[in-house]
Structure 1
Amino acid sequence: MRRLIKFSTLSMILLFPTLAHGQTLTGPQKNAVRSAKSYLSFQGFSREGLIEQLSSDYGEGYEVKDATIAADSLSINWDDQAVRVAKSYLSFQGFSCRGLIQQLSSDAGEKFTESQAKHGAQKAGAC
């Protein structure tokens, strides 16, 4: 006897990612999503940092447009990512509140927004 499998909305989203306006992702964009999920499974990233990692010649080499669409298609709480990265920094080095915020928000650092960096530093216990 054949059983029908009912997919939840969440499983459909995970299996078939789509853009906000309902357009299905292209092959390269789906691959970029897979890469993004892989990176996020072991390390925290800012939105800009993730896009850079996905599009860099030293990272995955995706087109910036595809990397951006991939990052934006995932439900990522960037504040939580900032906390994750801040805790990681504090696990191996001491930082002042201001110094950690600067590291998290710097273009040479993690590229979080100022607000995300403040949130991360505060929640990680640096402030």
Structure 2
Amino acid sequence: MPSRKTAAGAFGGGAVLFFILFGVTTPQQPATVADTVTTTPEVVNTSNEPPKADTGANTASHAQTAPAPATTRTQKPTVSAPTPAPAPTPAPTSNSETVSQKSAVRKAISYLNYAAFSHDGLVAQLEYDQFSHADAVYGADNSGADWNEQAAKKAKSYMSYSAFSRGGLIAQLEYDQFTQAQAEYGANAVGL
């Protein structure tokens, strides 16, 4: 059975923890008008003479009037309303890729790390993965692939498990949607 001392210690520790968490999670209160005080200068007449009304008749005959009364400047506090902080503006993005386009590029690179593809073959694969045609083309175009090298890799892959004539390999690469030039590059890369 816990003693009173243990219970009081647990309660006290819980209370301290509560106040710490409350202080950490409570949002800061916005500044009130009373918190924001600015000062503006105010001209105060310190002479004993009453202020003179300006008649608007400053002519040469009135030039020999009494000297102007001495004035001093004092600071009088005035209260101004706080100005709200400007809302943060999002940093401009360095490129204008959509999320789907970025995903298509990542997926295209992933496929190219796994197997060799022609441009059109990669687009077809991305479309199979439910990317729109535009995003699939964007992904293939921005994957960084050298399509000639992709044809060479595909040709080496075919030659590793089957025998091909030059014409047969070129036909197979064209079937995989490589261009004629890319298919010939692939055949040349494997020595055919």
TM-score range, shorter chain: 0.7 to 0.9
| SS of residue matched to 2:144 | coil
Q: Which amino acid aligns with 2:131?
A: Y
Aligned residue among 37, 50, 75 for 2:144: 75
Distance in 1 (alpha carbons) for counterparts of 2:121 and 2:143 = 15
How far residue 74 of structure 1 moved from its aligned partner, in angstroms, is 2.5
Distance in 1 (alpha carbons) for counterparts of 2:154 and 2:96 = 31
Distance in 2 (alpha carbons) for counterparts of 1:53 and 1:104 = 16
Distance in 2 (alpha carbons) for counterparts of 1:54 and 1:74 = 12
Which structure is higher in helix share?
1
1:25 aligns with 2:97: yes
Q: TM-score, normalised by structure 2?
A: 0.50
What's 2:125 paired with? 53
What's 1:116 paired with? 182
Question: What runs of 5+ residues in structure 1 fail to find an aligned partner?
Answer: 1-21
Q: Which amino acid aligns with 1:69?
A: Y
1:91 aligns with 2:160: yes
Following TM superposition, the consecutive aligned residue runs of length 4 or more in structure 1 with deviations greater than 2 angstroms are none
Larger Rg: 2
Distance in 1 (alpha carbons) for counterparts of 2:95 and 2:133 = 18
Map residues 36-51 of structure 1 onto 2, 5 A cutoff.
36-51=108-123
Aligned residue among 174, 177, 182 for 1:105: 174
Distance in 1 (alpha carbons) for counterparts of 2:108 and 2:148 = 17
How far residue 23 of structure 1 moved from its aligned partner, in angstroms, is 5.0
Equivalent pairs counted in the alignment come to 100
Over the residues paired in the alignment, what is the CA RMSD in angstroms?
A: 1.5
Which structure is higher in strand share?
2
Q: TM-score, normalised by structure 1?
A: 0.75
TM-superposition CA deviations, 1:65-103 (whole Å, max 9, x none): 100011112221100000000000000000000000000
Percent sequence identity is 42
Distance in 2 (alpha carbons) for counterparts of 1:24 and 1:98 = 44
